[in-house]
Structure 1
Amino acid sequence: MNTLISLVSVSAAAVLLLAACGGPAAFERPAMDIPDGTARSSPVGKNWWFVFHDGALNRLEEKAVEHNRDLVRASALVDRAAAMADEAGASLMPQAGFQAEGKRQELSEGERYMNNLPDRARDLWGMSGVLSYEVDLWGRLRALTEEARADLLASSAARDAVYLRLTAEVASAYISVRTWEEKCLIIRHVHASYEQTCSMYEKRFVQGQYPELALRRVQAERAKTLAQLKLAENELSRAESALAVLVGDSPRQIMAGRRLTGGREDLLASPPSIPAGIPGDMIERRPDICELEARLKAAFYGKEAARADRLPSLVLTGRLGQVSSRLEDLLSRPSRNYDMGAGILQTLFDGGRKRAAVRAASAECTAVQAAYEQAVLNAFREIRDALVERRKSAEAYEASRDEVTCLRRSWDIASKQYEAGYLGLMDALDTHRNLLSGELDMADAAQMRLNAIVKFCKALGGGWQRGPDSA
């Protein structure tokens, strides 16, 4: 036992002495011209869609986060990266093992005479505990560990990017469904109006009060709105199918179709308000930038590990065990033996493999840094575009609403003048047709305004608030 303690003590002292020889360089983020006040620690925003205050959307988002296949896959990749980080960290620790063996050995004549053995063949039994440790002289193992940890951070950020993209797509798909429902309602209302008008014209045509030309024009408008209605219903079905796939419905549920209930009736007309001042640190909530920064960190430490791999490595080993030619004497004190030592390994010639590995790691680091810097530029571009689109889409909706207000008043006047005989049929139909077109355009403008808010939240990495519902 004293021998084992001495062996462990000597090994520990050697480890503490040699482990302080060197380490990998520290990673530093590339310097960029970023607006003042931009921080670097904000996580991706969670539950950002709560700004819409829509119960149906909340349920759909929760279902998508739980069941979407892309997000399940991204989460599994994070688990794999975590396991690989643990595996890399284990290389910094001593490795202990146990070995037991039994064999029959045949000796040469000289060995038999030297050992004074009666037979050339003998049995050999042994068991031992083995302790080994690679001293991280140049920081190679620590660099590999940091690389694995950075890969774990990158995988987590990639999962957050999938989360953000998925929830934004679900919100846009939900808005699309609500828009097509509104359009179908508008067209259905106009079609019902034409049905009543046609019924009246057909009765009076039979009575000889209206000419056939007037009847056919009204019937044509009715057929046109019916065609518009069927096309709108088709688009509504397609929007519902896209939403069903995003939230992870089964094939049977997709084929059965879905009908949304419990949503805000005024969602299109009354979107959430957005604060005028947006803090600059929101840029760091973007998971795509966090992912590339972690990839850059991993590439940096991969380069450091490749450089350290060209230097000598030192391995400490120790063994304590029992060896005997007779199994019954294996545990006796005379059969105990031990050894300890250190070995240095240095590659003299490998055809340039390690030098090429350093060049490849350096090139990878340069490529990832360029991708990171480009991602930062794209992020600020997307934020600026989202800010402009948010403002312009709101202005476009207000203009469209004013247009519809005027068209509704025009139709009210035109219908009364037509009934009084002061306006012709074609003028009345044109006014009604313009009203329908204006209401459909207003629905499109409302959709654009809501989608602009979704894009704005996505560009900021998931909203702008830091409340209980924001990570």
Structure 2
Amino acid sequence: MKKVVFLLPFLLSGCAWLAPHYKRPEVALPKTCDGVGAVARDDREWWQRYGDPVLDQLESEAQQRSDDIALAKTSLSQAQAQYSYAFANQLPSISVAGSDAYGKFADGKVRAMGQSFQFPNKTSNFGFVGGMLNYELDLWGKNASLSQAAKAGVKGAAYAQDAARLSVAAGVAKLYFSLRALDRNVAILKDSIRTQDDILALVQHQYDVGAVDALLLQDATERRDTVHAALPDMEDQRNNAESALSVLVGRSPQDLIQTGIARGQEIDNLKVPDPTLSVLPSELLERRPDIAMHEQMLIASNFNIGYARAAYFPSISLASLAGVNNIDIDNLYRATSRSWTLGAAMAAPVLDFGRTQSGVKLAKANKNQQVILYQQSIRTAFKEVRDALLAQNTASERDADNIARDEAAQQKLHLTTLRLNQGYASQIDVLAAQSTVQLTELSRVKARLQRLDASVDLYKATGGGFTASAVEGKNR
């Protein structure tokens, strides 16, 4: 018995030695991305760089109420419970056992629980109360492998939660920017409607006095009708964007119907962050929550191989029973007889018709699948970084071009107005110049929205301030 007690700490510390040694798959990484170096900065609350308090409030609301984040949190709770269950399987289980028998023994004596009892020659109770201990020796690391796999699952679920937070934050920012762009487009279209109405009224007057023909009047009418038809579609897009943003931030149905989204900075006044990387390419593996999640899934599949291999070896279980017994259950605690037993059982596979082998093959195939998914997540990450950088550059150039075009249209309107005041231009010339300005403003809003969206994509592609070490510190 002393030897068993001495060996118990070693028996409890099962080692997952049948699992393959884990080594992170090697992937060739670039030193820079399109020649852009990394600038050290804190991107954990990157949305604050746009300088809009309303956006900051929406992001805070989404992080607290979003359904996507809440679902990811429940997945983390499930993974933690699964790990607790797997870890508990490595420890002994202790339970209470009891029995009561009622009857009469003809010879007045019986042996039970390793003891000899003298019964009175009358109908009596024979009772027992004690404790039972069961433990499976984890010599092959089966339970340890399962525990380590569940532990990796907890880390993976934590990374998945951070990925959900980043995705929601990016979605809120892009929807908010779209909403502000649509607000501006609706205002421009309303101005354009007034301009086209005025142009049509002047052309109609000219047609009535015979100054222009019916073709020119028809052209003016079609332009006016086109602008009028565009406004309801634009307003529908704005309403849909507002509803989608309300759902994404997790507002209740009552708030969704009765409360609109607050407005902050005009889209032209929103700051566009500097389009530089905050991490080096070699650091991207540690700064993308989806990559970290896939690696933990790979680690879990690696330990699952050890769990499957353990089925080739015998399982050994220990059981111990100790307690007190008495002839009369009513006087159990005055019993003079105590008993204990200690036993062991072993079950070894002999012929399972390839079931264990199939389990090992399945575990290995799952690991190979996780390797592919892990490598694919890395490729996707660098693709998104590259696309975001290129989109930043092209959107910045497009935005600058549209600003120049808008300024030129504004200058033309100013000069045409001066010519009107001096009698060298007509009112219709001024209205035509105003129409040109409105068209360039629509293009400018579109270019600014593309530039803002590209900056959000870059923050998301580089992890948005995520660090794997910070998440591991929370879940140890």
Instruction: Give the deviation of 1:239 after TM superposition.
Output: 1.2
Q: Which runs of structure 2 are paired with 1:62-77 in the superposition (5 Å)?
A: 62-77=60-75
Query: Which secondary structure state, in structure 2, belongs to the residue aligned with residue 330 of structure 1?
Result: helix
TM-score, length-normalised on structure 1? Answer: 0.84
The C-alpha deviation readout for 1:305-331, integer Å capped at 9, x for no partner, is: 111132112222222111223224533
**Other-structure match for 1:33:** 28
Tell me the distance in 2 between the aligned counterparts of 1:353 and 1:396: 62
Amino acid at match of 1:34: L
Q: Secondary structure of the residue that 1:97 maps to in structure 2? A: strand
Within 2, Cα distance between the matches of 1:393 and 1:186?
21
Match of 1:143 among 142, 145, 153: 145
Partner of 1:264: 265
What does residue 249 of structure 2 align with?
Answer: 247
- Distance of 1:130 and 1:37 partners within structure 2: 63
1:344, 1:185 → 2: CA distance? 80
> What is the CA distance between 1:274 and its match in structure 2?
3.5
User: 1:453: Cα distance to partner?
Assistant: 0.5
User: What is the alpha-carbon distance in structure 2 between the residues aligned to residue 21 and residue 407 of structure 1?
Assistant: 77
Are residues 23 and 199 of structure 1, via their aligned partners in 2, closer, same or farther at CA, if it must alter by over 3 Å? closer
Q: CA deviation at 1:210?
A: 6.4
More divergent stretch after superposition (445-454 vs 266-275):
266-275
Counterpart of 2:9? 16
Structure-to-structure mapping, 1:175-254, within 5 angstroms:
175-195=177-197, 221-254=223-256
User: What is the identity, as a one-letter code, of the residue corresponding to 2:375?
Assistant: E
| Partner residue in 2 for 1:3 | none
CA spacing shift, 1:59–1:441, aligned 2, 3 Å: same
Between Structure 1 and Structure 2, how many residues are aligned?
455
Letter in 2 for 1:54: D
CA contact (8 A) 2:16 2:303 kept: no
Paired amino acid for 1:64: A
Report the AA paired with residue 356 of structure 1.
S
How do residues 238-317 of structure 1 correspond to structure 2 at under 5 angstroms? Answer: 238-256=240-258, 258-261=260-263, 263-265=264-266, 267=268, 270-275=271-276, 278-280=279-281, 281-317=283-319
- The answer as to whether partners of 1:125 and 1:326 remain within 8 angstroms in 2 is yes
- Matching residue of 2:325: 323
Change (3 A) 1:427 1:199: closer
The CA distance in 1 between the partners of 2:162 and 2:303, in whole Å, is: 23
In 2, Cα distance between the equivalents of 1:82 and 1:464? 21
Report the RMSD for the aligned CA atoms in angstroms: 3.7
Residue 218 of structure 1 and its aligned partner are, at CA, apart by 5.1
Partners in 1 of 2:451 and 2:245 — Cα distance? 19
Runs of at least 5 residues in structure 1 that lack an aligned partner in the other structure: 1-6
Aligned to 1:372: 374
Give 1:21 shift: 7.9
1:90 to 84, 88, 95: 88
Look up the SS of the partner of 2:24 in the other structure.
coil
Rounded to whole Å, the distance in 1 between the matches of 2:427 and 2:359 is 82
Counterpart of 2:262 in 1: which secondary structure? coil
State the Cα deviation string for residues 234-271 of structure 1 (Å, max 9, x = none). Answer: 2211111111111112223323361423x223555641
Partner of 1:58: 56
SS at match of 1:321: strand
Q: Is the contact made by 1:312 and 1:345 (CA closer than 8 Å) also made in structure 2?
A: yes
The CA distance in 2 between the partners of 1:205 and 1:120, in whole Å, is: 127
Question: What percentage of aligned pairs have identical amino acids?
Answer: 25
1:300: how far off? 0.7
Task: State the TM-score, normalized to the length of structure 2.
Answer: 0.83
The answer to whether the 8 Å contact 2:162/2:466 transfers is no
- The equivalent residue for 2:168 is 166
> Aligned equivalents of 1:313 and 1:108: distance in 2?
43
Letter matched to residue 23 of structure 2:
E
1:4 paired residue number: none
**CA gap 1:163/1:277 in 2 versus in 1, 3 angstroms:** closer
Indicate which of 341, 344, 350 corresponds to 1:342: 344
Range moving further from structure 2, 9-18 or 67-76? 9-18
